[in-house]
Structure 1
Amino acid sequence: MAKKSRTKARDVASNDPTAEGSVGPRQPCPCGSGKRYRACHGGAAGGPAAYVGRPFEGMPSECDVIAMRELVPAATAPLTIKGSDRTVVLASLLPMAAPAMVRASGEIWLGLQVQHNFGDPSRDLGAVLTAALDAEEGVVGLVEPPGPGPRLQDLVEDERLTITVHDGFDFWLADVEDTSSMGDALEAANSAASPTAKLAQVEGAYWTDVGTKEHLRWVMPEPEDALLDALARVHAAGGDALVEGGRLVGMFRAHGLLTPVWDLPLGTGPEALEDPASDFAQALAEALADDSPLTSEQRAARSGLANRQVTIR
């Protein structure tokens, strides 16, 4: 009887649609702490803030913000702040992984790739940006959970971002006269940054060269189940190679969205992917609109794709 009760309890928990991200209490916490969910963001009151599975939902450039946070070494995008004329720049990574920096000019740089994670990256960014708007020159950050308050979506205008992908981190020194103290740090950061480019014809797709091979990593906004069905339809039809020798090798989840990953032959480069990616996006849109049951071949393709989990970096 006890065994049956425990099984029933697990089933109820796993099927509870209100559960945060459908994460079981004994599973690893999605925040990446290495702790079990119940000992981290799934803990009792007084513990870390509740984990938010899709923190940037609703932003017109949600896919690009996720890519800047998780995939792109060096990129920037200007932000328009509601009710303020301050110049604010969203950056993938700032020196020392600083959450924000108020420059001598008064310009604010807001960093996405940071050391802390209090459960809702958008709320963290909102708290840092709010503090930076009131701060003097220097680094601004968080040392404890920010508590309730505005999220990034609440503070910025509802408009698409203009993303600039940089070859390295020289933009760190754009308004610095004496760069001698930053030389070593800049050299180390630049040497660790893989060449990366944003595709122009589709949203959220980034090419990178990691030395031994090239990849295309494409953050997609569609709901996971519908996207997997559509990818399976295109895959079964042989329409997902993009270029000769290219291969859709799997996908990973980042901030609530799936990111399919392609392996590409060395020498492909981003320009060769533009038209094929646009054609693929059209085929995917048609597959998303197809509500007919999957064929046996498509179901097999879906199962294979769902099981191909790859690492983010």
Structure 2
Amino acid sequence: MSYRQMNTSNRENTTTITHFILLGFPSSPEMQLLYFGLFSTTYILTLTGNALIACAVLLDRRLHTPMYILLGNFSLLEMCYVSTTVPNMLANFLSTSKSISFLSCFAQFYFFFSFGYDECFFLCAMAFDRYLAICRPLHYPHIMTKQMYTGLVISGWSFGFIVYLSPVILISKLPYCGPNIIDHFLCDPVPLMMLSCSEDTITQFLYSTFNVIFITGTFLFVLCSYALVILAVLKMPSTASKHKAFSTCASHLTVVTLFYGPVNMMYVSPGSGHPEKMQKLITLFYSVVTPLCNPLIYSLRNKEMKAALRKIFSVEQSLHKI
């Protein structure tokens, strides 16, 4: 019997649940410890890598340009993004109950997806910045002013929290009367809606439509921006200019692909009813692996960023010698 059938049959004789059980990755205690060590290392490396990018942008005056300011904020956002889920996942590896309260579950749901939507906004802003810089170089200083990129940064940090408030409220208002087991490592909206006692098709439809419109819309905006950028780069007479522009765009496009690829599979694809194991693997990729890769992608393919990072490490070595 499915969760949906069980919920429908039990709606009359059970009370509202107060907590959920996140199954995570069921395995032996030894494997749980192995997972804990692996994801702890991944989490530390993710925080360290993104913190270095943010510090490089903050400390190196040569990086005080709209492109790098947006990148620095994006790295800070990545740190917040992984911190909404990974610490709780690590705690569950060492826990036998794997319990999370109703309020904590929906708080995690809200912050995780709000930061995710903020990432979509920043990827759009970064694509727009590259479009202006390469396709409209003469107009760039007049359009991408300090007020403009400051507004983009403020909007980027607040956008997801405003936009995603409605879906969270709608799903949290659904009746939950048991069972309370979520076969996932985080409070994902689809398993949560499946645990509801009543099949609210309106909420499901609004949530699905909301995701399709926003995720597809931002993805198409980014693709169109870079398509125009690539066309402009191909027309450049200088080989050196082409190489630099392509190198910068390649970094952005790689990050966009790593993020939007699995997100589209989970929340936009018509056949998104993936098995539970597949859902967890896809979510793990865009919530843990992608934030780890982003600092490497941006630092390894960007000369200015590599120079700034070398400067930070040289200062640290000098301080250690003192």
Q: Same fold (TM over 0.5)?
A: no
Q: Which has the higher contact order (CA 8 A, sep 6+)?
A: 2
Q: Shorter-chain TM-score: which interval?
A: under 0.3
Tell me the TM-score normalised to structure 2 length: 0.24
More helix by share: 2
More strand by share: 1
Tell me the TM-score normalised to structure 1 length: 0.24
